[in-house]
Amino acid sequence: MRALKIAAIAEALTLALLLVNLVTIHVPAISSLLGPLHGTAYLITIAAALTAIPARARWLALIPGVGGVAALARHQAE
């Protein structure tokens, strides 16, 4: 569960930073650094959700960007 929390936060944070970079200064080096980090965090979030939480909430992790956070919130609400 801890890995899922860390990966979900990293996924949402890297997406936010990518979007801020895109809207403001658009430095290609930032995009080339954060893009693979976001993709890796997304894949780790999916894998951790499939193994750590029940079926009702795990499919929310497939939503890019905020799916991990949504899956955690749904799991904690249940």
Q: What tens digit of pLDDT does each residue of 1-58 get?
A: 899 999 999 999 999 999 999 999 999 999 999 999 999 999 999 999 999 888 888 8
pTM for the full predicted model: 0.90
Alpha helices in 1-78 (DSSP H): 2-23, 28-52, 55-58, 67-77
Boundaries of every domain in the chain: 2-77
Identify the sign of the CA torsion 34, 36, 42, 47.
negative
Q: What is the pLDDT of residue 57?
A: 87
Confidence band (pLDDT; 50, 70, 90) for 63?
Answer: very high
CA atoms of 78 and 68, how far apart (whole Å): 15
